[in-house]
Amino acid sequence: MYPYQYFSLFKTVDDLINVYQSVNDKSTVAAIKAQALAKFDIILPEKFDDFDTFLKVIFDEKLTKASAKTYFEVHLKPLVIPFEVPSNKAVEKVFRKVKKIQIPNWSSLDLRENTYVAWHDPGQGRKFILFYDEHNKLQGTFGEFGSNPIKGLCAICQEMTTISLFLATTKSSGDGTYTKKGNYICLDSDACNQHLYDLSSFHGFLNALK
């Protein structure tokens, strides 16, 4: 599974535990379990080998948030396909218009939690976003990143959180002029990755920059 699938599974289980702890009606709980099972089919069409055991664990109504977190860390996180570390030359090629680009400290990141990797260069007032497209080709975008954070909806993960304005300069079609396009995104990109449960909003954000 990929990081966004891992976090989507975790969010679904977390919601289930909230139901276990707040709903006493057995038929309601059973219905929500069925909804969760259907959602798992959407999140993860190809099941991992021990999926039946996973279901037994998460459908236990005595499950706590602490034990669920431990189960995910121990049994599911090792199954996650991490963000592939590119070479420095590959990163420089993606951002070839940027002089002396900073390279992320890959060893400091748990790349099993990254659908994309982003970092902020405060000296240039820029944020860089690195990702793999649907063809597994390394891509990236960068832009001005606002220094006045506000509370609002992140265009990438759709979470209500602390956001700031990201503005990328793009070439307009036809006339060769340039324009700035962007949206508000999470100030904390690590938290954003953990709230990214499907790729549609991320792709929508990227397409809006084109």
* Residue 107 confidence (pLDDT) above 70: yes
Q: Residue 146: its pLDDT value, please?
A: 81
Q: Residue 170: its pLDDT value, please?
A: 74
* Residue 132 confidence (pLDDT) above 70: yes
* Residue 173 confidence (pLDDT) above 70: no
DSSP letters, 133-201, are -TTS-EEEEEEEE-SS-EEEE-TTT--EEEEEEEEEEEEPTTT--EEEEEEEEES-HHHHHHT--SSHH
* Residue 178 confidence (pLDDT) above 90: no
Q: Residue 186: its pLDDT value, please?
A: 95
Query: Given 1.20.1280.250, 3.40.190.10, 3.40.30.10, 1.10.10.60, which CATH number is that of 3-79?
Result: 1.20.1280.250
| pTM assigned to the model | 0.89
- Domain positions in the chain are 3-79, 88-208
pLDDT range class, residue 101, cuts 50, 70, 90: confident
pLDDT range class, residue 163, cuts 50, 70, 90: very high
* Residue 177 confidence (pLDDT) above 90: no
CB 192 within 8 A of CB 159: yes
